[in-house]
Amino acid sequence: MNRRHLLRHIPRGAKTFVRHLAAPTGPRKRTTRIDIVNPELCDTVLTRLRATLPGPGSCDLIDINPGKGLWSQKLHDLLQPRRHVLVEPNFANYAVSLEPLLTENDSTYRRAAVLEDAFNPNNGLLSEYPTGNALHPNPALLLTVNLSGAQFKTNLYKGSPARKFFSDLYMSLWRIRTDIHRYGLVRVLAWVPDEEKDAYIPRTVGVRRAQAVMLEASHKIQELVGGPANDRPTFFQKWREMEVQDRARVKAMENGVDLRVPDHRRDQLSPTYLLGVFPSPKNIRTGGFISDAAWVTRFLELDDHLREVHPAWHKKASIDNLLKLRIINSEQEEWQSLLKVALTQHKTHMRAVELVKEQRRIDKEWRDLAAAKANSRDAQQQPTEKEFELRNRSENLSASISRLSRTNRLFAEKAIDDYRALDLNPPVMSWNQREAEPILVHDEDFLPKTKHLALLDVTPRVDFLRKISTHDTMVYFGYVERNLWLSWSRTVYDALRTLVHEGVDDFIETIPGIHDPTKGGCYNLSAIRVRSLPAGLVVEIALAYERWPFRRSLVDILMSGEDPQAAYSLSDDD
């Protein structure tokens, strides 16, 4: 288990860790390309992909940053492409690996220094250059890319290669930037630094930012390969109880199609968190939990000391007689005080858990009621008695959540939003729509060994382009989406009020599905937060804004610098 985020492994029972609360003191610097070097990983990935890839000899392959070329050769052997263009800007560094591919007899490999050379028909590197397929998938062209490497800076951009590539990929849907889709909508297999993947396919609404929503709306994204979840900070993860349910759901789908994954390629669940464990001295001694609490280490030190110095007292020490223990020194007093704090934190946390589960039950009842009304021929416009009951329960529950401590309130709100994203049909976020767990990677799969890559399968959504079909609509979509995500944890009502200022209630009535709980809406937009909105509903808000007579003009948006080329900025993620 990778423990780069773990402070200390406490040798008591199984897997008890104390994490650093603070982030690393300095930025992580990525100065070199990360190369795939394990053939077994490539074989496992391609076994899973085989049924969805073009048949042998039926496509061209553009391969950006092939590096040492192992993934390139494995993919080439499976696809037997008509042409395989190696786009390697640093060819001299990898000539030993790539030159033999180019010079072998009847080689279908070709070489290009930059992507534009591969797309330029004058160079003749591809076997065909079809035209007129702007809104149609092109199964005869596949693109794979390694997006690791140094941060770079231009006059218009500063950041990682992956963020720049996905920004260009989005803009190319409208023939802007690199125009990757000039010969039809192209599927992309993208290797990205594992530590960066949450910017494109987050696993929790807590880190769902602007670019992730744009990609989610415009592309189907699947994480095929990735590192373990357990070595990531807790805010990149769902609540563990929800994670258990989610993994069981996906495992059932895997079993349904008889998907087999080697045990060493399957990620393991992390231990439970201390807040969810009853903090008896015995449970703390046994371990088997993860905690951010600094007091755990101190408690175990005191516990060891008291067992040796006061064995009779220590034998009687338990939660049941905590208040009856006779305190004769400062160590016993501190031991007792730490346990009292732990017990209080556990009780308040479990109260928040109760409220989260009650909200989930209410949300399900809302969705069931809305679905029943939609299927009824005698749909009533006025609220029913059941709706009045649900509204009353929702308002009382909201008041109870607001009275929690800040820590428990933030936990409850994030858990509620994650449940809303998971329970919707289809689920919100690409991660929740997965049908199989990613294949787990290990240090020996890459060079350098200290860095991991994740493989993302990215396919454009034709239905998105049918709705956001013009340059003007694209500008408004980018403007609306970026404004909504200025503060992703605020309520939808507050976000819409910031967007349109005056007349927000009239504007809301023009948005299809905004009050429909089966589409991610709610009767009370102050009761749901922006980060749990489905991408489809964000599209509807953008289309409604384009129709809104009091919207900002395109000229105003462009002249103020809020143009579509800035709309995908991820500065709020950093």
Between CA 391 and CA 335 the distance in angstroms is 46
Q: Which of 213-227, 312-326, 529-543 has the lowest mean pLDDT?
A: 312-326
Strands 152-153 and 158-159, by their bridges, are: antiparallel
Q: Greatest CA separation found in the chain?
A: 89
Q: Which of 23-32, 149-158, 435-444, 495-504 has the lowest mean pLDDT?
A: 23-32
Between CA 186 and CA 191 the distance in angstroms is 16
Answer for the pair 212, 199: CB distance below 8 angstroms, yes or no. yes
User: What are the E-state strand segments in 125-217?
Assistant: 137-146, 152-153, 158-159, 185-193
- DSSP summary character for residue 293: -
Confidence of residue 572 (pLDDT cuts 50, 70, 90): very low
Q: Examine the pLDDT at 271 and tell me if it is beyond 60.
A: yes
Looking at the DSSP bridge assignments, the partners of residue 403 are none
pLDDT, position 377: 63
More confidently predicted of 4 and 512 = 512
pLDDT digits (tens, 9 = 90+) for 131-179: 876 678 999 999 999 999 988 777 777 889 999 999 999 999 887 777 8
Percent of the chain with pLDDT over 70: 90
* pTM, two decimal places: 0.88
Q: Which of 114-118, 415-419, 459-463, 558-562 has the lowest mean pLDDT?
A: 558-562
pLDDT, position 324: 66
Q: Which of 199-213, 246-260, 307-321 has the lowest mean pLDDT?
A: 307-321
For 247, the enclosing helix (H) or strand (E) is helix 240-256
User: What are the E-state strand segments in 429-489?
Assistant: 439-440, 446-447, 453-460
Answer for the pair 405, 349: CB distance below 8 angstroms, yes or no. no
Q: Which of 25-34, 69-78, 92-101, 360-369 has the lowest mean pLDDT?
A: 25-34
pLDDT, position 378: 59
Question: Which domains occur in the chain, in start order?
Answer: 35-227+438-460 (3.40.50.150), 281-423 (no CATH), 468-573 (no CATH)
Kindly provide the b/e burial profile for residues 33-43, where b requires at least 16 CB atoms within 10 angstroms of the residue's own CB. Answer: bbbbbbeebbe
pLDDT digits (tens, 9 = 90+) for 69-80: 999 999 999 999
